[in-house]
A and B are shown apart, each in its own frame.
Chain A
Amino acid sequence: MRYVFSNLGQGLRRNLSMHIAVVLTLFVSLTLVGLGLLLNQQADKAAQQWGSQLQITVWLCKADDDNPTCTGEVTDAQKDAIAEVVEENPEVADHHFESKEEAFEKIKELLGPEKFDGPNPAATADDMPESLWITLEDPDEYEGITSAVIGLAGVSDIRDARETLEPIYDSISALQLGALGTAVFLVLAALLLVGNTIRLAAFARRREIGIMRLVGASTIYITMPFLLEAVVTALVSVALAGGALAAFVYFGVEERLADNLGFIPWVGWPEYLNALGLVAIVGPVLTLLPTLLLTRKYLKV
């Protein structure tokens, strides 16, 4: 073991420029992978709040509705009639009603509960409209259901999720695609660099390795320094990527986006931990896997 650890330091120093190259490539690719996951979670969060692209939202009349065709609060009979129309429509995959309370909870979560507590709240549950959330079979086939529902009594307005969400989702998925696409190339580069590093290290140590094989050192003993080097580079890269992602969440999201664009629920620390977890798994796998494969090849025992 003494030999293994003294060799670890030596190996890292001897191949320093190569290790730095691996660490940097891995750091950037892991950061992009983590960013991809954050964006994915961002899309999920937005979908929870706004509905997905497959959904349209039917706002039902409330007591003092802006829409003059509303004669007052939607009645249960009107809701039953609307539900019936929706159920019969072939374009509809699923639907559910959202009560005033549910809508109120959502807006509280989005804008922060402090605005709604106390003696002078910004709004109460009663100010919220009831709504009907319709999930479509196919997001492009929406005209039928929209025209069927719009004229019904008790319907105030229809929001086609695509109009508001499409640009948001499009930019999120474009960013995600960009991050993951770049990550794929960088991961490939990282794998090749890891492979090269091992080849160089095996070459630099070929005398020692030859003697170790000759005197009967076990395979695991011979490969251990290589595996440890792989673990160290992976850990450094994961730490750097974790730091970069944390900086992104803190400075990018919390300090900037969340303040300026408060109407969208933004990713925060719980989502960061998910991304960090993914990065912490992917990083070591990316270095250990090629190491295990290539040491078998280069250090044939």
Chain B
Amino acid sequence: MIRFEKATMAYPGTGRPALDQVTVDIEKGEFVFLVGTSGSGKSTALRLVLREIRPTSGRVYVAGKEINRLAAWKVPRLRRQIGTVFQDFRLLPNKTVSENVAFALEVIGKSRSEIRTTVPETLELVGLEGKGDRMPDELSGGEQQRVAVARAFVNRPMILIADEPTGNLDPSTSVGIMKLLDRINRTGTTVVMATHDHGIVDQMRKRVVELEDGHVVRDQAQGVYGFQH
């Protein structure tokens, strides 16, 4: 589903590449934690998957497409197969919960009837039934992140990318979000989550890929965060 082949990404004007000869293969339906300190290259890896940037050398395949060769006008189609969740939720403050979720479908031209059935379904899936008419600022942080997950998942993407989704949440709320991501993963969606959160990684016992200074220093099935090597 996602494959890095000796992918190197050097931002112009910086000496050391953010990712250096990274090779990782993520199968369909996997749940993978991407761990490492700030500046280790986690965000760069996620941005490559989204094709916000292109590798300076090596190859990155996403959903069978080599992103380096993907024409610019095909990028939106690739992104429709990827849902994304961020630490800071990125909800639209002037839209209700339902409208926020529906927005993701409207802007890719889905029909009104499809939106009317899919949005409540998805809100129910993330545990927000009955809160569709609330505004984001009336919700708790955990609930706002659920809205963001609903928006990312409403188009039933093949891949869900989560960049520190629990970074702004307290531990007990984080557990709820992790359960939700786990549930989404069980529907067959590949989940890649970048995180700093030791507790969560240790608890989930999923595959862990650790980056350090742009290199993969560990790739372990059912890993924990604090592995000493």
Q: B83-120 interface mask toward A, CB cutoff 8 Å, 1 = contact, 0 = none? A: 11000001010000000000110111100100000000
Q: Residue A216 contacts which of B78, B90, B151 (CB distance < 8 angstroms)? A: B78
Neighbouring A residues of B79 by C-beta, 8 Å: 213-216
Does A126 have its Cβ within 8 Å of any Cβ on chain B? no
Neighbouring A residues of B108 by C-beta, 8 Å: 215-218, 221
Query: Cβ of B92 and Cβ of A218 under 8 Å apart?
Result: no
Known A215-B155, A216-B80; contact A221-B92, beta-carbon cutoff 8 A: no
Q: Residue B92 contacts which of A211, A216, A217, A219 (CB distance < 8 angstroms)? A: A211
Q: Residue B76 contacts which of A3, A210, A211, A217 (CB distance < 8 angstroms)? A: A217
CB distance from B32 to the nearest CB of A (A): 20
Q: How many A-B residue pairs have CB under 8 A?
A: 56
Known A211-B92, A211-B104, A215-B155; contact A221-B109, beta-carbon cutoff 8 A: yes
Query: Cβ of A219 and Cβ of B90 under 8 Å apart?
Result: no
Cα of A219 to Cα of B76 in the assembled complex, Å: 8
Does B229 have its Cβ within 8 Å of any Cβ on chain A? no
Query: Cβ of B90 and Cβ of A301 under 8 Å apart?
Result: no
Query: Cβ of B75 and Cβ of A211 under 8 Å apart?
Result: no
CB distance from A204 to the nearest CB of B (A): 11
Interface residues on B, range: 20 to 34
Neighbouring B residues of A214 by C-beta, 8 Å: 50, 79, 84
Query: Cβ of B75 and Cβ of A207 under 8 Å apart?
Result: no
Query: Cβ of A207 and Cβ of B90 under 8 Å apart?
Result: yes
Neighbouring B residues of A297 by C-beta, 8 Å: none
Find the A residue at minimum CB distance from B161: A214
Does B73 have its Cβ within 8 Å of any Cβ on chain A? yes
Query: Cβ of A217 and Cβ of B107 under 8 Å apart?
Result: yes
Neighbouring A residues of B90 by C-beta, 8 Å: 207, 210-211
Find the A residue at minimum CB distance from B154: A215
Query: Cβ of A212 and Cβ of B107 under 8 Å apart?
Result: yes
CB distance from B167 to the nearest CB of A (A): 18
Find the B residue at minimum CB distance from A300: B52
CB distance from A222 to the nearest CB of B (A): 8
Q: A189-223 interface mask toward B, CB cutoff 8 Å, 1 = contact, 0 = none? A: 00000000000000000011011111111110110
Neighbouring B residues of A221 by C-beta, 8 Å: 107-109
CB distance from A112 to the nearest CB of B (A): 62
Cα of A211 to Cα of B88 in the assembled complex, Å: 13
Neighbouring B residues of A212 by C-beta, 8 Å: 107
CB distance from A101 to the nearest CB of B (A): 66
CB distance from A298 to the nearest CB of B (A): 16
CB distance from A143 to the nearest CB of B (A): 69
Q: Residue B103 contacts which of A211, A213, A218 (CB distance < 8 angstroms)? A: A211
Cα of A3 to Cα of B78 in the assembled complex, Å: 22
A residues contacting B by CB (< 8 A) are 2-3, 207-208, 210-219, 221-222, 301
* 7 shortest interchain CB distances as A-B pairs: A216-B79, A216-B80, A217-B107, A216-B76, A215-B104, A212-B107, A218-B76
